């Protein structure tokens, strides 16, 4: 274009200018005003890629929406003054002044860590970080914690112990973390920190009893639980049990649950009691207790007759109550209380002394009536019905001269001549005697 003489293009007082606007300025706030050297009517336009500013016919630049310094801290606005075909240009640099509108922000709303209970006091366990996008003191963060067990460095965010940890007392700590900035007014935020205390074997196991006393029947089946050992251990590790003394033949064993059980059959007649020394260990500590086991008898043994056959000979004139013989028998069971009885013909002629096994005559015997007895002696234990054994008994009666000779008739008659010589045969007299041998000779 060919300009007419005396026509001047729009010219701004400044080629550029710098202004500052608080980020909390509301829409409509005047940011700046551009001015021309010569007053003239022009059209102003903003040359920028934002709609947050506007310019009016007087060159007044205003906010059209809210600002966020943390998102865009500054703007450069190109201002064009149009007086066709001429124009002028200037730049307005807008710096956003920070206000404390951002609270500190933890990287996580909750933290969870594990730490051993045996760490020394003052050990750092975790670092937490909270960011604040504000500038200057408004962006400076200080940390705090609501705990008497832990402390936090207010500047670095390192969390440390201030006393000895004890998982057995408190296995888990949940504390509140706070982050606050130095703005005016200050803003803050919180996060949760969960600290799980890992067990360290610092407590020995403890038996509930220093001595246990139990009774067990000798016919208890293998595998049966005899006793539940009660053990407490504040630590979380496993426990191992062992029988260290008093079980030479491995009659007993202990499950991992602490159950003492029968591993082999019992026999009271062989061993009637046990005293076991039992230990429990948590791999560091070893603790012991004593278990006394009394084996209770059951009737698991037959009586044993020591002689299968007993033969005796006794005079037939023994008085009632006399001892005829003894049936020897025993029973390994405890207090078997053996009882004796007879079977066989004429068994009522005798009776047993139940305490000694002695067979006694019950009546006056008579060889001439019963000369020999064949009887069976039965020996039974206390149970009903119970086990029993038998002995064959042969009792022979020896003769004694207890029978006078007897004539078959009380009167005899014979006739002889009166001149019969002395010594002549008159008649034969017959008499008998029930005894034997010499005792029957007449």
The 10s digit of each residue's pLDDT in 318-365 is 999 999 999 999 988 777 788 899 999 999 999 999 888 999 999 999
Looking at per-residue pLDDT, the higher value among 238 and 153 belongs to 153
pLDDT of 102 reads 84
- Structural domain includes residue 431: no
Strand partners, 267: none
187 and 211 inside one domain: no
Checking if the pLDDT of 428 tops 60, the result is yes
- 210 assigned to some structural domain: yes
Residues 83, 143 within the same domain: no
Whole-model pTM above 0.75? no
Domain end among 296, 317, 350:
296
Question: Both tokens of residue 331?
Answer: 């029973």
Number of folded domains in the chain? Answer: 4
147 and 190, same domain (yes or no): yes
186 & 270 share domain: no
Question: Who wins on pLDDT, 322 or 283?
Answer: 322
Which residue is it, tokens 């009016």? 56
Structure confidence at residue 190 as a pLDDT band (50, 70, 90): very high
Percentage of residues in the chain having pLDDT higher than 90: 58
Mean pLDDT on 202-228: 92
Grade residue 440 by pLDDT with cuts at 50, 70 and 90: low
Give me the pLDDT at residue 70, please. 80
Q: Is the pLDDT of residue 120 over 70?
A: yes
Whether residue 162 contacts residue 151, with contact meaning beta carbons closer than 8 Å, is answered with yes
197 Cβ contact partners less than 8 Å away, ≥ 6 residues apart: 114, 115, 116, 117, 165, 166, 167, 170, 171, 172, 173
Residue predicted with more confidence, 194 or 6? 194
pLDDT of residue 410: 79
* Average pLDDT rounded to a whole number, residues 145-160: 94
Q: Give me 2's structure tokens.
A: 């060919």
Which two three-digit tokens encode residue 74? 């500054």
Per-residue pLDDT averaged across 64-89, rounded?
90
Mean pLDDT of the 302-317 span = 92
The C-alpha atoms of residue 199 and residue 171 are separated, in whole angstroms, by 8
435 pLDDT higher than 90: no
> Domain ends where: 159, 176, 198?
198
Q: What is the CATH number of the domain that holds 264?
A: 2.60.40.60
Which pLDDT does position 433 carry in this prediction?
62
| 185 and 212 assigned to the same domain | no
Same domain, 192 and 109: yes
Please enumerate in sequence order all residues whose Cβ is within 8 A of that of 261, keeping only pairs 6 or more positions apart, or say none: 223, 224, 225, 226, 252, 253, 254, 255
Domain match, 210 and 246 both: yes
Q: Is residue 175 part of a domain?
A: yes
Query: Which position has the higher pLDDT, 382 or 91?
Result: 91
| Whether the Cβ atoms of residue 166 and residue 122 lie closer than 8 Å to each other | no
- Computed over every residue of the chain, the mean pLDDT equals 88
Report the Cα–Cα distance between both ends of the chain, in Å, rounded: 197
pLDDT at residue 436, rounded to an integer: 67
pLDDT of residue 442: 64
Distance (Å, rounded) from C-alpha 285 to C-alpha 68?
Answer: 64
Domain co-membership, 122 together with 92? no
Asked if residue 418 belongs to a domain, the reply is no
Average pLDDT over residues 267-286: 90
What confidence score (pLDDT) does residue 429 get? 66
127 and 181 in a common domain: yes
190 and 119 fall within a common domain: yes
Is 426 a domain residue? no
- Is 409 a domain residue? no
Asked if residue 281 and residue 344 are part of one domain, the reply reads no
Q: Is residue 331 part of a domain?
A: yes
Say how far apart CA 199 and CA 234 lie, in whole Å: 9
Residues 382-389, mean pLDDT to the nearest whole number: 75
Question: Could you tell me the two tokens for 250?
Answer: 């491995």
pLDDT band at 234 (very low <50, low <70, confident <90, very high): confident
| Residue 380 lies inside a defined structural domain of this protein | yes
Q: What is the Cα–Cα distance from 44 to 79, expressed in whole angstroms? A: 7
Domain boundary among 245, 266, 296: 296
Look at residue 75 and tell me whether its pLDDT is greater than 90.
yes
Structural domain including 291 reads: 206-296
Q: What is the pLDDT of residue 53?
A: 93
Whether residue 168 is found in the same domain as residue 240: no
């Amino acid at each position: 274009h060919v300009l007419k003489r005396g026509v001047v293009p729009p010219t701004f007082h400044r080629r550029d200018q710098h202004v500052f606007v608080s980020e909390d300025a509301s829409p409509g706030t005047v940011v700046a005003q551009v001015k021309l050297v010569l007053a003239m009517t022009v059209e102003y336009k903003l040359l920028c890629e934002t709609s947050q500013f506007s310019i009016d016919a007087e060159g007044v630049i205003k906010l059209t929406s809210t600002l966020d310094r943390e998102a865009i801290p500054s703007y450069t606005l190109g201002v064009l003054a149009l007086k066709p075909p001429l124009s002028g240009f200037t730049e307005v640099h807008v710096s956003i002044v920070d206000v404390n509108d951002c609270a500190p922000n933890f990287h996580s709303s909750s933290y969870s860590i594990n730490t051993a209970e045996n760490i020394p006091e003052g050990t750092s366990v975790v670092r937490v970080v909270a960011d604040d996008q504000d500038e200057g003191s408004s962006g400076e963060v200080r940390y705090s914690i609501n705990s008497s067990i832990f402390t936090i460095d207010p500047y670095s965010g390192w969390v440390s112990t201030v006393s000895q940890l004890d998982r057995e007392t408190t296995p888990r700590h949940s504390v509140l973390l706070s982050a606050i900035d130095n703005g005016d007014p200050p803003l803050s935020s919180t996060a949760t920190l969960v600290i799980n205390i890992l067990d360290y074997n610092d407590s020995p196991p403890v038996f509930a009893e220093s001595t246990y006393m139990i009774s067990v029947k000798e016919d208890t089946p293998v595998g049966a639980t005899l006793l539940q050992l009660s053990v407490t251990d504040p630590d979380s590790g496993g426990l191992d049990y062992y029988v260290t003394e008093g079980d030479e033949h491995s009659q007993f064993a202990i499950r991992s649950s602490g159950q003492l059980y029968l591993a082999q059959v019992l026999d009271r007649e062989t061993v009637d009691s046990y005293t076991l020394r039992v230990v429990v260990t948590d791999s560091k500590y070893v603790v012991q207790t004593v278990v006394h086991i009394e084996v209770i008898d059951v009737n698991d043994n037959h009586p044993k007759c020591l002689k299968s056959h007993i033969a005796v000979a006794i005079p037939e004139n023994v008085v009632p109550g006399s001892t005829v013989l003894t049936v020897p028998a025993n029973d390994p069971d405890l207090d078997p209380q053996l009882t004796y009885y007879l079977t066989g013909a004429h068994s009522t002629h005798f009776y047993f002394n139940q305490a000694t096994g002695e067979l006694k005559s019950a009546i006056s015997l008579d060889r001439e009536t019963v000369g020999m007895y064949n009887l069976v002696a039965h020996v039974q234990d206390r149970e009903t019905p119970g086990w029993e054994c038998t002995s064959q008994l042969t009792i022979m009666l020896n003769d004694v001269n207890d029978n006078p000779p007897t004539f078959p008739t009380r009167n005899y008659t014979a006739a002889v001549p009166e001149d019969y010589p002395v010594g002549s045969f008159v008649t034969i007299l017959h008499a008998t005697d029930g005894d034997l041998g010499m005792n029957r000779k007449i």
